[in-house]
Amino acid sequence: MIDFWVLSALLVVLSSGFVLYPFLKRKKQEAVLDRRSQNIAAFKARLIEIDAEKQAGTLSDEQFQQLKTELEASLITDVDGLEHDTQSNNALSSAAPSSIPKVAVGLMVISLPLIAYSLYMKWGALDGVEQYREWGNAVPSVDNGMPQGDIEDLLITLREKLEKNPDNPDGWFMLARSSMKLEKYDQASYAFLKMAVLLEKQQEDPSAIYGLAAQALFFAKDAQMTDEVKAILDKAFAVNPDETNGLGLLGIDAFQSGRYEEAIKYWSRILDVQPDNPSRDAIVAGINKSRAALGLPAQTKAVDASVQVRVELAPSLAAKVSPNDVLFIVAKAVNGSPMPLAASRLTVADLPVQLTLNDAMAMGPMAKISSAKEVTIVARVSKSGQPVAQIGDLQGILSPVEVGTGVMVNVLISEEVK
């Protein structure tokens, strides 16, 4: 931030110049006026002298007139030059106080930077600028090849900085978004809640962020509608009864509990308030599945789409796996919820394997591969048997993959999660 302080110091110097300039010009004008008074006084004194010499008879009338003419010409020349300097400064001199003490001027010059920096430290956004410049591009996508362990270290450092300087909604959103990508849902929910509180203080609508916080916590609790999730949803709906993230979660919970009429109500409400919702096709699919469970006909046909995948293990990693190690193959939206749109659980013994990821492999009625135009395919050998990536797991990632082309894509498991 050295450049910030250098530039701000230059601005302070420049602004101080605007304060000093009128007084310096005033001082110059006063000097000009003083010299003019001195010249006039000298003229009068010399005129008295030659007049006395004339009276004493030492100067003739002709000599007296000649000296007098020369004195007057000299005075006119001097006064005209000084008058020109005076007129060039009239605008500034009329604006400048005529009798402000030097001490007052000095206090003004000193107080200007002190007041400016004090006001900026109170109302400015130096911490936000510093964090943005430090972290704006420091947390890359999980899919760009950077070891996950390094990204997690960056997020730990980012959270520590935010805890020390918490009044930074953009920083909390960055932490939440990156944590969602790493499937660290507890931390994502925590960061979204921090951001929502700041938005409330700024009198901005926090409902969507509360909805995202509830969504993250929902994933963290194994897709269960806990009391904590409900409490966050209550905050979202208190501001906006039609908050779509919250309505989606209520629909999923109702569907999982067999309350299909409620699921239809919640999901239909999303389409009422947001007809162009990015997950429209998945929502329609969920509604139709609920209608089918109630023995009702489908109203709108959902998009039928799939991705053909072939997964192989790099020969260099063969010694690091055993046939019984769990293999997860999932498709996620390139941009959107981290919840898998399609998933398959196999073992290393099945490799190499070809399969079709489609809506039949969806984790829920609202999260289907048909709702996305492009997806990220992740094939991961899990040493722990858990779907969330752990250090030591082996994985291959391919992104973006267009949905519905019918073209087989190849995913090579070739890297170790760090």
Question: Can you list the pairs that 178-183 forms with residues at least 24 positions away whose Cβ atoms lie under 8 Å?
Answer: 178/139, 178/151, 179/155, 179/216, 180/216, 180/338, 181/141, 181/142, 181/338, 182/142, 182/148, 182/151, 182/152, 182/155, 182/389, 183/219, 183/338, 183/388, 183/389
* pLDDT per residue as tens digits for the range 187-240: 999 999 999 999 999 999 999 999 999 999 998 988 889 999 999 999 999 999
Domain annotation covers residue 301 = no
Higher pLDDT, 172 or 371: 172
Residues 164 and 277 occupy one common structural domain: yes
The band of 2, judged by pLDDT with boundaries at 50, 70 and 90, is low
Domain-embedded: residue 133: no
* pLDDT at residue number 216: 92
Q: What is the pLDDT of residue 186?
A: 93
Q: Is the pLDDT of residue 78 over 70?
A: no
Q: What's 364's DSSP letter?
A: B
Query: What does the pLDDT average to over 26-40?
Result: 59
Structural domain ending residue among the three candidates 249, 266, 293 = 293
pLDDT of the residue at 105 = 59
Is residue 233 situated within a structural domain?
A: yes
Domain match, 25 and 168 both: no
Give residue 92's pLDDT band: very low, low, confident or very high (50, 70, 90).
very low
Residue 315 has pLDDT above 90, yes or no: yes
What share of the chain in percent tops pLDDT 90?
37
If asked whether residues 165 and 279 sit together in one domain, one would say: yes
Q: Find the CATH number of the domain harbouring 230.
A: 1.25.40.10
Question: What is the domain count for the chain?
Answer: 3
At residue 294 the predicted structure's pLDDT band, cuts being 50, 70 and 90, is: very high
**411 in a domain, yes or no?**
yes
Does 221 lie in the same domain as 334? Answer: no
Rounded distance between C-alpha atoms, residue 244 and residue 267, angstroms: 9
Query: Is pLDDT of 15 > 60?
Result: yes
Q: What is the pLDDT of residue 285?
A: 87
Contact 282, 300 (CB under 8 A): no
In a shared domain, residues 46 and 166: no
Same domain, 216 and 319: no
Distance from the first to the final alpha carbon of the chain: 32
Structure-model confidence comparison of residues 323 and 33, the more confident one: 323
115 & 182 share domain: no
What CATH number does the domain containing 400 carry? 2.60.40.1120
- Name the residue with tokens 């904590």: 228
- More reliable by pLDDT, 54 or 189: 189
Q: What residues make up the domain containing 85?
A: 2-123
- 169 and 286 inside one domain: yes
pLDDT per residue over 359-399, tens digit each? 888 876 667 888 788 999 999 999 888 888 889 999 999 99
Last residue of a domain, one of 89, 123, 157: 123
Residue scoring higher pLDDT (119 or 241) = 241
Average pLDDT, the chain: 79
pLDDT at 387: 82
Rounded (10°) angle between helices 169-181 and 148-164: 160
**Phi then psi dihedrals of residue 184, to 5 deg:** -95, 75
Q: Tell whether the model's pLDDT for residue 320 goes beyond 70.
A: yes
What is the pLDDT, as a whole number, of residue 232? 95
Whether 159 and 223 map to the same domain: the answer is yes
At residue 351, does pLDDT exceed 60? yes
Of 114 and 138, the structure prediction assigns the larger pLDDT to 114
Average pLDDT over residues 257-283: 87
In a domain, 299, yes or no: no
| Domain-located, residue 128 | no
pLDDT of 238: 94
Q: In the predicted model, what is the mean pLDDT of residues 10-16?
A: 68
**Cα-only R_g, the chain:** 40
pLDDT at 19 over 50: yes
Domain assignment present for residue 222? The answer is: yes
Model pTM? 0.48
Q: Count Cβ atoms below 10 Å from residue 63 Cβ, excluding itself.
A: 13
pLDDT over 70 percentage in the chain: 70
> Residue 185 pLDDT > 70, yes or no?
yes
Q: Are residues 351 and 321 in the same domain?
A: yes
Sign of CA dihedral 234, 236, 237, 243: negative
The residue from 123, 154, 175 where one domain ends is 123
Together in a domain, 288 and 149: yes
Model pLDDT, residue 338: 77
Q: How far apart are CA 156 and CA 150, in angstroms?
A: 10
Q: Is residue 200 part of a domain?
A: yes
Whether 103 and 149 map to the same domain: the answer is: no
Beta-carbon neighbour count of residue 28 at 10 Å?
16
Task: Check residue 290 and report its DSSP letter.
Answer: H
